[in-house]
Amino acid sequence: MADWWKNLYRAISTVFQGLLVTLRVWKSTYDSSRKTFTEHFEYPELPARVAPRYRGFHRFDVTTCIGCDQCAKACPVDCIYIGKERVENGKGFRLTHFTIDYTKCMFCALCVEPCPVDCIFMGGTLDLSSYSRDGALVDYSRLPIDVAWGRATLNPTAVAESKAVLFPVHGGPSQPEG
Ligand code: SF4
Ligand code: SF4
């Protein structure tokens, strides 16, 4: 019985805690001293600041990925498309494609957890505009490695240029010799 009362108290108090947050934020929208977004940030000239655990466009290391499909299997909307081929004279697979369809992705990060080699993360990039749906299909195996891994910002120009890249940037058996 004591547990029942404790759970009831916890349920009611957490609902009120949540409502207090809503009330505080709602009240702040009527604060006349509140700065506008552009007074806080110089976006798009400078990237907008994001929280440390923000879930933006992915960061992906094509050189580490072993093509195990765990991320694609975990994705609830099936928006990760992986192409791979067997490594000749060796073990495992080499990637030929690693495409994420951002018209479907909902940035849930469920693809990050199962990766056995930690080569996919949610990044801090929040914008990737394009004039066509094709621009929202990002093949990370065709992007420059520093862009795909998040050392340089993922941007529409890099994505557009990656569409003309015929082979994965990491080289290997998928590329023609010579
Ligand atoms: S963030 Fe979620 S929806 Fe997007 S690719 Fe990963 S698992 Fe799929
Ligand atoms: S889970 Fe990791 S290693 Fe496996 S295919 Fe996905 S990104 Fe590559």
**Substitution site in 73, 80, 138 for ligand 1 pocket (most atoms within 8 Å of beta carbon):** 80
For the chain, give the percent of residues with pLDDT over 70: 96
Residue 177 has pLDDT above 50, yes or no: no
pLDDT at res. 34: 78
Asked if pLDDT for residue 178 goes beyond 60, the answer is no
pLDDT of residue 91: 75
Q: Which helix (H) or strand (E) holds 59?
A: strand 57-60
The pLDDT assigned to 173 comes to: 43
Domain edges within the chain: 2-34, 57-162
pLDDT at 171: 63
Q: Compute the average pLDDT of residues 85-91.
A: 78
Residue 63 has pLDDT above 80, yes or no: yes
pLDDT computed for residue 32 by the predictor: 78
What is the spatial distance between Cα 125 and Cα 50, in angstroms, rounded to a whole number? 9
The residue-averaged pLDDT of 100-112 equals: 96
Across all residues in the chain, what is the average pLDDT? 87
Residue nearest to atom 6 of ligand 1 (CA): 111
Tell me the CA–centroid distance for residue 128 and ligand 2, in Å. 23
pLDDT tens track for 109-152? 999 999 999 999 999 888 888 888 999 999 999 999 888 888 77
How many of the other CB atoms lie within 10 Å of CB of 19? 10
CATH topology of domain 57-162: Alpha-Beta Plaits (3.30.70)
Q: How far apart are CA 95 and CA 87, in angstroms?
A: 10
118 CA to middle of ligand 1, Å?
Answer: 15
Name the closest-CA residue to atom 6, ligand 2: 71
Residues 96, 60 contacting (CB under 8 angstroms): no
* The predicted structure's pLDDT at residue 88: 77
Query: Given a cut of 70, is residue 82 above it in pLDDT?
Result: yes
pLDDT tens sequence across 22-48 = 999 898 888 877 778 778 888 878 778
HSE of 155 in the Cβ direction (CA atoms, 13 Å)? 8
Q: Looking at ligand 1, which residue's alpha carbon is closest to its atom 3?
A: 105
